[in-house]
Structure 1
Amino acid sequence: EESNVQMLLPAACLLQLTEIQDICCEFLKRQLDPSNCLGIRAFADTHSCRELLRIADKFTQHNFQEVMESEEFLLLPVGQLVDIIASDELNVRTEEQVFNAVMSWVKYNVSDRRQHLPQVLQHVRLPLLSPKFLVGTVGSDLLVRSDESCRDLVDEAKNYLLLPQERPLMQGPRTRPRKPTRRGEVLFAVGGWCSGDAIASVEKFDPQTMEWKMVAPMSKRRCGVGVAVLNDLLYAVGGHDGQSYLNSIERYDPQTDQWSCDVAPTTSCRTSVGVAVLDNLLYAVGGQDGVQCLNHVERYDPKENKWTKVAPMTTRRLGVAVAVLGGYLYAIGGSDGQSPLNTVERYDPRHNKWTLVSPMSTRRKHLGCAVFNNLIYAVGGRDDCMELSSAERYNPHTNSWSPIVAMTSRRSGVGLAVVNGQLYAVGGFDGTAYLKTIEFYDTEQNQWRLCGSMNYRRLGGG
């Protein structure tokens, strides 16, 4: 327990019991959370646990938008606050967030802390603020206006913004942008099953803001829908609308927030279908048509708006996961209509042929799958008995699967995707309830962490 570690670690440090120190530090790494990371950081600093301090620092910087809302943040000593906000690695959307965090800290105990405002404010990069925010919010704040050093910092920022021709001569720590996090990619959750019915709703997750926002819904309700991105457009393939199996396709343009239905339908109705893009062609793999489980595979050429059948899989698969790696299309797990599968096969488009590769260690249908760091990750799903939280990954160079740490929840019908270099597991069914939670895989600490919830619970969305 954390309380035990807080007693053990100082004693281990004092007695130079390195092995116990390492065990305690590893435990605290796994406990890191936006609500406690500052306390763990201070604890690591006090006891000279450099690796734990580094990890806690990185966690704090990456999750600053949540950390700044915590009580620990408001209780920080001024020196630790400065250490954090001075970092180039601070993960913020705008410098306005840093200013707001600083002012929240000062106003938490304004009588004692107003004297520290000049020291703290010099580490807020005021020249990077919008002119409106600088003048309307910073410049009009009574605490800022009442201190000469703070007014000087505001004037410096105004000069930087008003005199662009002079900016080369005004460069310094306050004009240097914080190192940009990877931006631009967002995660879409499309359709699925919620509250006993198929849904048409669509929402998107921005990892920078940690917020889910609704976007335009599809024209049809779709659960068991296959979703993939081709040429920056989102395709929703097949599915089931609650009454009928579908072969229709819808295409979403995020620039216009509109769905179009002018895409040619697949040759077969398909739900629980796997969809992926290989060589700028959209593949639809397996699924079921209401009569039988399918081994059919077809691919869509957007230039011709046409689907063409290719070689069928060696096994019929519904609830199959698909992935593209190394020029091959992989079909992973699923069910043959009778029982879940652990078998995996891959398609070579050069020879129009499917070949079996090493099977997973666990039978899985309705699993999530994605390529992350040149490995194929397979998570969750359902075996013969229950929904799964376990996860494993495939290395094509060794043709082998190896287990990784389990997710925090059992998830069948889960979506898995990589966004901005982060692996996310989305929604699903845990055996009792439909889920709207999402979690991401922390590779450094080898654990899954919850990171918010969708607006809708979703099973079998894309």
Structure 2
Amino acid sequence: MASLVLTDSSQLTADGLEKIDSVWGWSSPPLRLHLVHPRSRMGEMVIGERPPSPARLPHTSEKHPRVTLGELNVLRRHRELCDVVLNVGSRKIFAHRVILSACSPYFRAMFTGELAESRQTEVTIRDIDEVAMDLLIDFCYTSHIVVEEANVQTLLPAACLLQLAEIQDICCEFLKRQLDPSNCLGIRAFADTHSCRELLRIADKFTQHNFQEVMESEEFLLLPVSQLVDIISSDELNVRSEEQVFSAVMLWVKYNVSERRQHLAQVLQHVRLPLLSPKFLVGTVGSDLLVRSDEACRDLVDEAKNYLLLPQERPLMQGPRTRPRKPTRRGEVLFAVGGWCSGDAIASVERFDPQSSDWKMVAPMSKRRCGVGVAVLNDLLYAVGGHDGQSYLNSIERYDPQTNQWSCDVAPTTSCRTSVGVAVLDGFLYAVGGQDGVQCLNHVERYDPKENKWSKVAPMTTRRLGVAVAVLGGFLYAIGGSDGQCPLNTVERYDPRQNKWSPVSPMSTRRKHLGCAVFNNLIYAVGGRDDCMELSSAERYNPHANTWSPIVAMTSRRSGVGLAVVNGQLYAVGGFDGTAYLKTIEVYDTDQNQWRLCGAMNYRRLGGGVGVMRAPQTENYFW
């Protein structure tokens, strides 16, 4: 009897490389099905061989754990088979030891060790809010909880006590989303008290980035001296000038002069007085009565005066107070969208924050999409067309980072397209080339978000699938790709004022499924595939000279690679190296003229799209 064997691997064999995948236009379908025929027919046995296995139907129920947990909760509500009562405040909470022990390391240690509580039918738990405890026990039985402003300050410490890490994380996530200049210092202190390191880090970053507003809040005036020093000593404090830091310090001191004037010198040493203007240093700082009345403060002012008056001596006077602050520039984050992974098109989306070097999953698209075109328009991320593993798509989705949701209320393109190039020019979203399953396309259309409508513009002079697109100097460039027969090195650009495409200088290498991005006013083209192999080479185009010049190759061969500029750095994301699908990323170091690996995505992605967005104001880019 024939059996069906499913092989799913990121590694590809030589026979797979010989087959052209109709979706991609490059070799190697990653999912292979083989029929394996045993040496005997039905009813026969070959001596020395095991008999064939009987027919089997393995089954794992998704409904069973949900229903079982629901029935356990019904038992608890009816106080049936309960073997422990928790006395918390004025409440008696009936429960089952085995459920509590399975959910909470705290209860497991209590009920399975030698503690007296392990033998008691009623256990009193002190120093925990009774409403919070009720919510957490409910969660143990239902897997559902609602964190809100009214309960987060009692839920978090209760979850810490019971060692419910998932609830701790969701409380911290809730507080991250509530960060505001008026409350970030209180959230920071709360995180510090409960050892929530990630929340503490993010609250610190938020405070530094929004210091000009934070210093005007009441929370700032109530800070203990140690926390004030922590904040103003940071190199990443975001201020227009050091004058703001001095003003903030004096506001804090004068809020309670009788108690705080003793701390003035301790705090003032973290204000970078040598970086002040001479006029402000002498006229404002030096003339302040509190500063003049403190010898240590006067010494700090004199140090700053010497630095300003003796420029030839400055190399010998360098120190923490002469180092300019370097606030983190407003954050941009990179999104990797869809692609091909583990034998199929995928809908998953993940976000890369260069500040933390973390990849985190966000809401997936409603459809699986490989060969998807991705671009950002009006702070929304658009995913255009692609292939879902079975059919070519003309549907569009867009992602709102404020809500972490995708919507499908965007008008579809007039043609189905995969391996399509997408870019934004003058407030319009352009879809360029690709293939529709019948032919390679030269069609170009653009989307007007105000009208929610696509309209055709002049077609390219060449049909192109796997084309890369870029916008520079008011022109839309279509770079490389394949005409359906072979890879291209030709490049053409579209002038929206004349509705016309014109050729420009070709690349030195034929490339399809390449990555491209505009970096320092040059167009970079990296990776892709030529007539016979995946490429690691890279080149860049100077529009003023109309010339391409090579740059150093990437560390890996990459076709189906994404290329994007994030916070002033050029990143190459994922792709296919000829043998394996990649989840690694690398960044180009312009000073060293070299690429270096810098982490990996959660998913391998071939032919996924990439987009760069500013972070939502609600979280101010520190997710």
TM-score range, shorter chain: 0.5 to 0.7
Which residue matches 1:447? 594
- Shifted more, 35-44 versus 186-195: the winner is 35-44
Aligned match for 1:411, one of 549, 554, 558: 558
SS of 2:168's equivalent in the other structure is helix
Residues 340, 31 of structure 1: alpha-carbon distance in 2 compared, 3 angstrom cutoff: farther
Find the aligned partners of 2:160 and 2:358 in 1 and give their Cα distance.
41
Comparing 48-57 and 346-355, the one that deviates more: 48-57
Aligned equivalents of 2:580, 2:396: Cα separation in 1: 29
SS at match of 1:135: helix
Per-residue CA deviation, residues 400-451 of structure 1 (Å, 9 max, x unaligned), is: 0000000000000000000111100000000011000111110000000111
Distance change (3 Å), C-alpha of 1:225 and 1:55: closer
Q: Conserved in 2, the CA contact under 8 Å of 1:30 and 1:445?
A: no
Contact 2:468 2:513 in 1 (8 A): yes
Would you say the 8 A contact 2:235–2:327 is kept in 1?
no
Structure 1, unaligned stretches of length 5 or more? Answer: none
Decide whether aligned partners of structure 1 residues 456 and 356 sit closer, same or farther in structure 2, where only a CA change above 3 A counts: same
In structure 2, the CA distance between the partners of 1:13 and 1:126, relative to structure 1 (3 Å rule), is same
Deviation at 1:11, TM superposition (A): 64
Identify which of 223, 232, 253 aligns with 2:379.
232
> Against the structure 1 CA distance between its residues 442 and 288, is the aligned structure 2 distance closer, same or farther, given a 3 Å change threshold?
same
Match of 1:377 in 2: 524
Structure 2 gaps, min length 5: 1-147, 610-623
Conserved 8 A contact 1:30-1:447: no
1:273 equivalent in structure 2: 420
Asked if 1:95 corresponds to 2:242, the answer is yes
Task: Report the CA distance between 1:105 and its aligned residue.
Answer: 32
Q: Find the aligned partners of 2:177 and 2:552 in 1 and give their Cα distance.
A: 12
Q: Compute the TM-score of the two structures, normalised by the length of structure 2.
A: 0.49
Q: Is the 8 A contact 1:228 1:236 kept in 2?
A: yes
1:151-202 Cα deviation digits (max 9, x unpaired): 9999999999999999999999689994112232100000000011000000
1:139–1:27 distance in 2 versus 1, CA, 3 Å = same
- 1:247 pairs, out of 366, 370, 394, with 394
Q: Does 1:347 align with 2:480?
A: no
What CA distance in whole angstroms lies between the structure 2 residues aligned with 1:215 and 1:21? 19
Pairwise CA distance, 1:109: 40
Q: Give the aligned CA root-mean-square deviation in angstroms.
A: 16.4
Quote the residue 1:359 is aligned against.
Answer: 506
Counterpart-to-counterpart distance in 1, 2:529 and 2:256: 52
CA separation of 1:207 and 1:136: change in aligned 2, threshold 3 A:
farther
* Deviates further, 21-30 or 389-398: 21-30
Q: Structure 1, residues 118-146: CA drift from partner, whole Å, max 9, x if none? A: 99999899999999999999999999999
| Cα distance, 1:424–1:361 mapped onto 2, change above 3 Å | same
Deviations 1:340-387 (CA, angstroms, capped at 9, x unpaired): 000000000011100010000000000000000000000000000100
Task: Give the stretch that moved more between structures: 72-81 or 225-234.
Answer: 72-81
**Over residues 74-94 of structure 1, what are the superposed CA-to-partner deviations in whole Å (9 max), with x where a residue is unaligned?**
999999999999994899999
Q: Which of the two has higher C-alpha Rg?
A: 2
Displacement of 1:13 after TM fit?
Answer: 58
TM-score, normalising length from structure 1? 0.65
Q: 1:446 & 1:26 partners in 2: Cα distance?
A: 39
* Matching of residue 396 in structure 1 with residue 550 in structure 2: no
* Distance of aligned partners of 1:157 and 1:373 in 2 relative to their CA distance in 1, 3 Å threshold: closer
Other structure's SS at 1:174 match? helix
> Which residue matches 1:152?
299
Regions of 4+ moved over 3 Å: 1-178
The structural deviation recorded for 1:66 is: 30
Within the candidate set 333, 350, 353, 1:203 is matched to: 350
Aligned to 2:322, the other structure's residue is in SS state coil
**Is the CA contact (8 Å cut-off) linking 2:209 and 2:328 kept in structure 1?**
no
| Deviates further, 142-151 or 227-236 | 142-151
Instruction: Identify if the C-alpha distance between structure 1 residues 375 and 26 changes in structure 2 by more than 3 Å, giving closer, same or farther.
Output: farther
| Range with greater deviation from structure 2 (425-434 or 143-152) | 143-152
1:233/1:254 contact within 8 Å kept: yes
Work out the CA distance in 2 between the residues paired with 1:99 and 1:117: 11
Structure 2 residue matching 1:25: 3-state secondary structure: helix
Tell me: CA distance 1:166–1:227, structure 2 relative to 1, closer, same or farther (3 Å).
Answer: farther
> Structure 2 CA distance, aligned partners of 1:130 and 1:440?
39
Q: Percent sequence identity over matched residues? A: 94
Give the direction of change, closer, same or farther, for the CA distance of 1:377–1:347 in structure 2 (3 Å limit): same
Native 8 Å contact 2:237 2:327 kept in 1:
no
CA deviation profile, 1:184-234 (whole Å, cap 9, x unmatched): 210000000001100000000001111111000000000000000000100
Matched with 2:338 is 191
Which stretch of structure 1 is more off in the superposition, 308-317 or 126-135? 126-135
The equivalent residue for 2:175 is 28
